[in-house]
Chain A
Amino acid sequence: MEDDNATNDAIKAASNPSLDEIKQPVKAQPKPRPKKAPELPIFERRNWLIHLHYVRKEYEACKMLIKEQVAETSGMCEYPLYVQALILRQMGRIQESLECFQTCALINAQNSDNLKQVARSLFLLGRHKAAIDVYSEAARMSSRDWEISHNQGVCYMYLKEYMKAKEMLKQAIQFNRHDLSYVMLAKIYLMEGDIHMAIDVYKRAIEFSPENPELLTTLGLLYLQMNQNQRAFEHLGNALTYDPSNVKAILAAGSMMQQHNDYDVALTKYRIAAAAVPESAPLWNNIGMCFFGRKKYVAAISCLKRAGYLASFDWRILYNLGLVHLTMQQYASAFHFLSAAINLKPKMGQLFMLLAVALTHLDDTDNAKQAYEQALQLDSKDVSILLNFSLFLYNLGDRKTATKHFIAFEQSMQKLKDTGAADLDAELMDTAGKLGPALQVGESLVWKDKANQPSTSPSAPLPAPPPYTDTSTEALANAPTPPTHDPAASEQNSNTRSDRVAVPSQ
C-alpha cells in the first residue's frame, strides 16, 4: 500500500510546482517497474513525503514523519532536520530552529542553503553582525545569489551602515529582481531623507510588478509628500482597484479628496476603513476633519476627541481640535489643545499663529504678540500669519508695524500669484481687501470707517488647511499606544464597610 501511494504521490509531487527554495536531494525516480519500488538509501527514503506534507502545511503529519526518520538514522539525516527547523521557525521558535539548522550545517557543510538558513535565523533573532559573517561564508560557496546579497543589505540597514546596505541591495537587484529588495532600498533612501531617490526606486519596482498594492500605495504616499497630487491619485487609485479594502490607501486617497473639498466621497471611503480598523486614530482624525469641512462642528469635535483619546501623542489631532474650537469660538479649549500641540511639536509657525488668535480672544495681548513673533520667526513665508499679525496690530492701534507686515503679506501674495501655485483662500483675500484700505487711508477716515469695518471686529482668518494623516511610508499609527486607562476612574471603594454606607440597603 505504501508503495502504491509512493508512486502516486511521487507523480503528484512531480506535477506539483514545488517552491524553488528546497533542492531536494531525492534522486530522480527511475521508470516505474512493476516488480518493486526502488531502493533508496535509508537517509533519504521519505524526503519526498516530508516535503509534500510541508508544502501542504500539514505540519502534524510532517513532525511525526521527521521524528521517525530522526530516530531511524539516529539524527544523521539532513533534510528532515531542515524541514523541522523550518516548521519551528513558522511557529516563532527561532532559537530552536537555529540549533536545528546548525545541526544541518554540521551534517552537510557543502550546502550553502544550510548556512543561509543559519544566518537567516540569526537575523531574525536580531544578531545582525553574526548573520552578516555567516552570509559572507555562504556567499563564498555560491556566487550570484540574490538572497544572500539582499539579506546582507537588510542586516547592514539594521546596523545603520547605509552605504554598504545600498551597495548590497543594488547587487541583489542585479542578480534577480525582487519586490522586497526594492522596498528595502527605498526604505534606506527614506531614512537618509532622500525622497527623490526613493521614488525612483519605487518606480522601477512598479515597472517590475505593477499589481502589488503595497508598492502602489507607498509610491502614492511619497508623491503626496512631494505635493504631486495627480500622480499620487493615479497610484492610489490603482492600488485600490487591486485591493479595495487596503486601509493605508483608503486613508491616503481620502485625505486627498478632503484637500479638494470632496467630503462626502471621502466619508464613504472612510466608512470602508472604519469597519476594518475601528480604533485607528488617523482615521478618526480624518473623519472629524470631514465633518469640519461640512460645517458639522459638534460631530467633528466628538470624532477628533475620540482620536485624541486613542493617540495622546499625535500633535495633528491636537492641532485640529484647537482649530475646530477656534471656529466654535471656544477659546479656552482652543488654547488648551493648541498649547498641548506646541508642547509636542514646538517648531511649527502655524501652531503659534493659532495660539495667538486664541490668546487675542482671551484678552492677553502681550502673550498674543509674543506668539505672533514666534510664529513669524519659525515660518516667515506663511501669508496667513502675516495677515493675521497685521490685523492684530491694527486692532491694537500699532499702525506702523501693521503696515510693515501687510506689505510683506502683499509681497508674498504677489509671489504666490506669479507661481500660480496655491488656490488662494477667498476669505483670506476678503479680509486683506478690507484691511488694505483701512491701513492706507488717513487716520480720520479710518476712525469713521471703523464703525462699518467688519475687519476691525477681530476675525480669525482661516489658517492654512489642516494637516492630515501621516503620509510616511511607515505603517500608520506605528507609535506604541499608551493605554487610555483610568483604572481608578471606575473604582468605588473596595471596602465592604463603606460600601454599606454608600448603598442604602433595604
Chain B
Amino acid sequence: MDPMYMAYSLFRRRKFEDCINICTELLEKNPYDQAAWSLKTRALTEQVYVDEIDVDEEGIAEMLMDDNTIAQITRPGTSLKKPGTGQGAPSAGVRPLSQSGRPLSGFVRPGTQSGRPGTMEQAIRTPRTAHTARPVTSASGRFVRLGTASMLSTPDGPFINLARLNFSKYAARPNLAKPLFEYIFHHENDVRNALELAALATEACGFKDWWWKVQLGKCYYRLGLYRDAERQFKSALKQQEMVDTYLYLCKVYVRLDQPLTAIDIYKQGLEKHPGETALLTGIARIYEGLNDMTNAVKFYKQVLHNDNTHVEAIACIANYHFYTDQPEIALRYYRRLLQMGVYNAELFNNLGLCCFYAQQYDMTLSTFERALSLSTDDLLTADIWYNIGQVAVGIGDTSLALQCFRLALVSNNDHPEAYNNLGVLELRKGHLDQARAFFQAAESLAPHMFEPHYNFATLSDQVGDLQSSYNATKKAIEAYPEHCDSKELLEQLKKHFSIL
C-alpha cells in the first residue's frame, strides 16, 4: 500500500504515533514533500491538542497583577469577583464553601476559579489548589515549555526550527499555513511567532477569512491583550456565526469581569444556534459564578433538555438538589451518571452520600467501599473517609466517626473540615485543650470556613477567655455574615465589654 495513503488513513483513525513514523520516513526520502510535512505537523499537533475554550487558567500573576476590570467596586450581582448573595443558593450553613462566599460547584473544570486571593502574600500562603482545578503557578504554567520538554517527543531535535522559517512564504499558502499555525500554537506554545504568522496570513487572504481572525484573537487572548482579542472575535462573528467564536468572545468578557455582557453574547449566539449546549452551559456557568443558583439550574435543565447525557449539567443539578434538602432527586441524577458509564471515585462517593441522606441504607456503605477502592489520590481518599465519618455521626457512632476523621487526616494532613469535626467530637468528650488545638488547626488551614471560628469562639466563651472569643466570632461573621448564632454571641460579648 502506498505509504502516504497509509499515513492519511492512520491519521484519520487517530493513530498519530504510527502516522508520524511513516511521515518521517517519507520526509527522509524526499525532504520537499509538502503533503507529508503538513501531515506530520498535524499529527504532532493532535497529540497534544487541548481545546482552547476549556483552557482557562489564571496564574497568581494574572489574578493579582493585571487590572482589566473597569469597575473596581461593582454592584452586587454584576461581577464575578464579588459574587452577590445570590438567589436560591443554599447558605454557607448548609453548603460547604471552597473559598469565602463561593459554594462548591458540582463539577470541576480547568477554568474553575472559586474566589480569588486578595493579595500576593495571601495567594502564596494558601494551598496551591485552592483557586483553580490545578496547582496555581506564577503565570499560566502550562504554556511555558522548556526546550527539553519539546525535545523529548522527538529524539533528533525539534521537527521544525521556528527561527529559520520564513513566515511570509508560508502565509501565502493557506493549505500549509493553517496546520503550521496550529502546530506553533498548540505544540510549541510559541504565541509570538504564531501571532506573526497569523497576521501575515490574514493580510494575505485580504482579511476575508474568519478563521484567521479567530486565531489572531486567540493569540491576543493568550498574550493578555483582551481588548484586541475582543475586536478580532467580533469581526470574525460579522463574517461567520460560529459557536466557537461566541465562546471565545465570552471568555474574553469573563476575563474582563463583565458577566452580564457575556450572558448577552451567549443569548445572541443562542438566537443563531438554538439549543446549542455549549452556549447554554456557558450561561449556566456564569450564573453559578454569580451565585445565582435559580437561573443556573434553569439553564442546566435546558442543557439536559437538548442533550440528556451532559455530565456537567447533571452533576451541577444533582449537587444543587442535594444541598436543598432533596437527596432523593440528587440520587436519581447521580444514578443517571452511573448508567452513562461514568465510573470514578467521586461519583461513588456522591452516590454514597445521597443514599445515606435519602435513607437508602442498603446501598450506602457498598458505594463508599467502591469509592475507596477507586480512589486514585490521597486528597480524594481523605474526602471519602471524611464523608464516611459524617455517616458514622449520622448513626450516632462517635468512636467510628473519630476513627474516620483521623483516617481523613492521615490521607490529607490539611483537611480543615476533618480537624473541625474532630474538635467537636473531643469537645463532646470534654477534652477542651485538644478541641481547642483542633479548632485552631482548622482555622489556620481554612480561614474562609465559619465553623472552626464559631466553635473556637463558643469554647473560649465557656472558659471565660472573652478576648479570643470576640476575635474568633468576628472572623466567623466575616466568613458567613448571616450566621445568627455568631451574631448572638457577638452581641453578648459586646455587652460584656461595654458594661463596667
Interface residues of A (CB under 8 A from B): 21, 89-90, 92-95, 116-117, 120, 123-126, 128, 147, 158, 180, 276-280, 302, 305-306, 308-310, 312-313, 318, 330, 332-333, 336, 339-344, 475, 477-478, 480-496, 498-500, 502-506
The complex places the Cα of A503 from the Cα of B109 at a distance, in Å, of 10
List the A side residues contacting B94 at CB < 8 Å.
279, 309-310, 484
Closest to B496 in A: A124
The complex places the Cα of A431 from the Cα of B380 at a distance, in Å, of 54
Contact assessment for A488 and B396 in the assembled complex, using a CB-CB cutoff below 8 Å = no
Contact assessment for B344 and A493 in the assembled complex, using a CB-CB cutoff below 8 Å = yes
List the A side residues contacting B468 at CB < 8 Å.
126
Closest to A247 in B: B484
Contact assessment for B428 and A124 in the assembled complex, using a CB-CB cutoff below 8 Å = no
Q: Which of A278, A333, A340, A492 interacts with B359 by CB under 8 Å?
A: A333
Contact assessment for B466 and A487 in the assembled complex, using a CB-CB cutoff below 8 Å = no
Contact assessment for A312 and B393 in the assembled complex, using a CB-CB cutoff below 8 Å = yes
Q: Which of B349, B485, B497 interacts with A124 by CB under 8 Å?
A: B497
Q: Which of B98, B108, B449, B471 interacts with A483 by CB under 8 Å?
A: B449
A279-B93, A496-B50 given; A125·B396 CB < 8 A = no
* Known pairs A312-B390, A498-B344, A499-B109 / 19 extra A-B pairs, C-beta < 8 Å: A95-B467, A120-B500, A126-B466, A158-B464, A305-B325, A308-B394, A339-B396, A343-B396, A480-B424, A480-B455, A485-B451, A486-B386, A488-B380, A490-B105, A494-B129, A494-B134, A496-B134, A499-B108, A502-B311
User: In the complex, which residues 243-294 of chain B have their Cβ closer than 8 Å to any Cβ of chain A?
Assistant: 243, 277-278
Interface assignment of B232: CB less than 8 Å from any CB of chain A: no
Q: Which of B110, B387, B397, B483 interacts with A488 by CB under 8 Å?
A: B387
Contact assessment for A310 and B93 in the assembled complex, using a CB-CB cutoff below 8 Å = yes
A126-B466, A279-B484, A481-B454 given; A491·B325 CB < 8 A = no
A125-B466, A482-B421 given; A493·B108 CB < 8 A = yes
Interface assignment of B417: CB less than 8 Å from any CB of chain A: yes
List the B side residues contacting A310 at CB < 8 Å.
93-94
16 A-B interface contacts by CB (under 8 A): A95-B467, A120-B500, A158-B464, A180-B499, A302-B325, A306-B325, A313-B424, A318-B396, A343-B397, A475-B488, A480-B458, A483-B417, A486-B322, A488-B349, A488-B380, A503-B311
User: In the complex, which residues 407-457 of chain B have their Cβ closer than 8 Å to any Cβ of chain A?
Assistant: 417, 420-421, 423-424, 427-428, 449, 451, 454-455
Contact assessment for B470 and A126 in the assembled complex, using a CB-CB cutoff below 8 Å = no
Closest to B358 in A: A305
Least Cβ–Cβ distance between A400 and chain B, in angstroms: 36
Contact assessment for B497 and A488 in the assembled complex, using a CB-CB cutoff below 8 Å = no
The CB with the most chain B CB atoms within 10 A, among A123, A306, A506, is that of: A506
A480-B458, A491-B108 given; A279·B91 CB < 8 A = yes
List the B side residues contacting A484 at CB < 8 Å.
93-94, 390
Chain B interface extent, by class: 35 or more
Least Cβ–Cβ distance between A307 and chain B, in angstroms: 11
The complex places the Cα of A277 from the Cα of B486 at a distance, in Å, of 11
List the B side residues contacting A278 at CB < 8 Å.
91, 484
Least Cβ–Cβ distance between B265 and chain A, in angstroms: 18
A128-B464, A481-B455 given; A496·B96 CB < 8 A = no
User: In the complex, which residues 383-405 of chain B have their Cβ closer than 8 Å to any Cβ of chain A?
Assistant: 383-384, 386-387, 390, 393-398
Least Cβ–Cβ distance between A18 and chain B, in angstroms: 13
Contact assessment for A276 and B470 in the assembled complex, using a CB-CB cutoff below 8 Å = no
Contact assessment for A482 and B484 in the assembled complex, using a CB-CB cutoff below 8 Å = no
Least Cβ–Cβ distance between B366 and chain A, in angstroms: 16
A277-B484, A491-B346 given; A90·B387 CB < 8 A = no
List the B side residues contacting A89 at CB < 8 Å.
497
List the B side residues contacting A488 at CB < 8 Å.
346, 349-350, 380, 383-384, 386-387
Contact assessment for B497 and A90 in the assembled complex, using a CB-CB cutoff below 8 Å = yes
The CB with the most chain B CB atoms within 10 A, among A94, A180, A276, is that of: A94
Closest to B312 in A: A503
List the B side residues contacting A123 at CB < 8 Å.
464
List the B side residues contacting A491 at CB < 8 Å.
104, 108, 346, 380, 383
Contact assessment for A483 and B134 in the assembled complex, using a CB-CB cutoff below 8 Å = no
The CB with the most chain B CB atoms within 10 A, among A339, A478, A487, is that of: A487
Closest to B424 in A: A482
User: In the complex, which residues 480-500 of chain B have their Cβ closer than 8 Å to any Cβ of chain A?
Assistant: 483-485, 488, 493-494, 496-500
A481-B451, A483-B421, A505-B51 given; A92·B109 CB < 8 A = no
The complex places the Cα of A480 from the Cα of B462 at a distance, in Å, of 11
List the A side residues contacting B417 at CB < 8 Å.
483, 485, 487
The complex places the Cα of A492 from the Cα of B107 at a distance, in Å, of 5
The complex places the Cα of A310 from the Cα of B90 at a distance, in Å, of 13
Query: Across chains A and B, which 9 residue pairs bring their CB atoms closest together, nearest first?
Result: A343-B396, A488-B383, A126-B465, A340-B396, A480-B455, A94-B467, A92-B470, A485-B96, A483-B451
Question: Interface digits, B31-59 against A, CB 8 Å rule (1 contact, 0 not)?
Answer: 00000000000000000001100100000
List the A side residues contacting B387 at CB < 8 Å.
486, 488-489
Closest to A22 in B: B500
List the A side residues contacting B423 at CB < 8 Å.
480
The complex places the Cα of A123 from the Cα of B469 at a distance, in Å, of 13
Closest to B428 in A: A313
The complex places the Cα of A184 from the Cα of B275 at a distance, in Å, of 67
Interface assignment of B474: CB less than 8 Å from any CB of chain A: yes
The complex places the Cα of A94 from the Cα of B470 at a distance, in Å, of 10
Closest to B381 in A: A488
Contact assessment for A92 and B421 in the assembled complex, using a CB-CB cutoff below 8 Å = no
The complex places the Cα of A486 from the Cα of B54 at a distance, in Å, of 27
Least Cβ–Cβ distance between A506 and chain B, in angstroms: 6
Q: Which of A21, A343, A486 interacts with B395 by CB under 8 Å?
A: A343
Interface assignment of B133: CB less than 8 Å from any CB of chain A: yes
Closest to A116 in B: B500
The CB with the most chain B CB atoms within 10 A, among A92, A279, A482, is that of: A482
Contact assessment for A94 and B353 in the assembled complex, using a CB-CB cutoff below 8 Å = no
Q: Which of A93, A478, A482, A502 interacts with B458 by CB under 8 Å?
A: A478
List the A side residues contacting B395 at CB < 8 Å.
336, 339-340, 343
Q: Which of A95, A309, A499, A506 interacts with B278 by CB under 8 Å?
A: A506
Least Cβ–Cβ distance between A404 and chain B, in angstroms: 33
List the A side residues contacting B311 at CB < 8 Å.
492, 502-503
The complex places the Cα of A495 from the Cα of B93 at a distance, in Å, of 28
The CB with the most chain A CB atoms within 10 A, among B427, B497, B498, is that of: B497
